[in-house]
């Protein structure tokens, strides 16, 4: 190998070494890089399971296949004010507390028990205010993300180009 090859590999290694720390959160890797909201990978997994329960995959794609948790988290990070982002962070901590207090081992639950758990989460109205805010906003953004996904827009909605059809001479019945 030549000196040029060694330098090229050294620069590639140094560049990737600088990139890796930005991808790792203190609590583990999360799916997308968030600037303003700090959540753990455990909170993200709970959140993605919640969204999967809202929009399950049956004969159509669900929240996991469409990556709605990453979309929703990105919307929270980009579109909300600092006060609302703090509410959302506290809502994530409240969701984690609710999850830990009601579930012994989530991996051992079958789908019926998981569905029952998330129905209890959605129907219970005496949650802390931040958790209610998180659930309401995540439901809103999950539905928006689902309706605007490429899968729904190409498979379910009939797509027409912008101008559409032009019918110049149409006889009207009076």
pLDDT tens, residue by residue, 51-83:
988 888 888 899 999 999 999 999 999 999 999
Phi, psi at residue 25, to the nearest 5°?
A: -90, 160
Burial of 42 (0-12, 13-18, 19+ CB in 10 A): middle
Which residues face 25 on adjacent strands? Answer: 28
What is the extent of the structural domain holding 84? 28-155
Classify residue 22: in a domain, yes or no: no
**pLDDT for 45:** 85
Average pLDDT value for residue range 22-29: 54
Classify residue 77: in a domain, yes or no: yes
**pLDDT for 138:** 92
pLDDT tens, residue by residue, 122-172:
777 788 889 889 999 999 999 999 999 989 888 888 776 677 777 788 888
CA terminus-to-terminus distance, the chain: 86
Using CA atoms of 13, 19, 21, 24 in order, give the dihedral in degrees to the nearest 10: -120
pLDDT at 89 over 80: yes
Count up the domains in the chain and report the number: 1
pLDDT at 29 over 70: no
Classify residue 85: in a domain, yes or no: yes
Phi, psi at residue 59, to the nearest 5°?
A: -95, -10
Whether the model pTM is above 0.75 = no
Classify residue 171: in a domain, yes or no: no
pLDDT tens, residue by residue, 158-172:
776 677 777 788 888
What span, in angstroms and rounded, lies between the C-alpha atoms of 156 and 87? 35
Classify residue 36: in a domain, yes or no: yes
Do residues 131 and 95 make contact, with C-beta atoms less than 8 angstroms apart?
Answer: yes
Classify residue 135: in a domain, yes or no: yes
């Amino acid at each position: 190998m030549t000196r040029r090859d060694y330098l090229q590999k050294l620069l590639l290694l140094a560049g990737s070494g600088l990139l890796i720390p930005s991808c790792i959160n203190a609590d583990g890797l999360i799916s997308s890089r968030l600037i303003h909201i700090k959540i753990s990978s455990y909170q993200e997994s709970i959140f993605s399971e919640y969204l999967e329960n809202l929009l399950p995959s049956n004969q159509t794609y669900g929240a996991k296949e469409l990556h709605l948790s990453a979309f929703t988290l990105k919307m929270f990070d980009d579109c909300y004010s600092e006060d609302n982002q703090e509410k959302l962070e506290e809502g994530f901590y409240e969701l984690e507390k609710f999850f830990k207090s009601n579930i012994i081992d989530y991996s051992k639950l079958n789908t019926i028990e998981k569905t029952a758990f998330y129905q209890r989460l959605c129907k219970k109205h005496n949650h802390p205010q931040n958790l209610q805010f998180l659930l309401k906003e995540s439901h809103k953004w999950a539905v928006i993300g689902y309706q605007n996904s490429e899968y729904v827009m190409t498979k379910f909605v009939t797509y027409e180009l912008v101008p559409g059809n032009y019918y110049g001479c149409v006889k009207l019945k009076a």
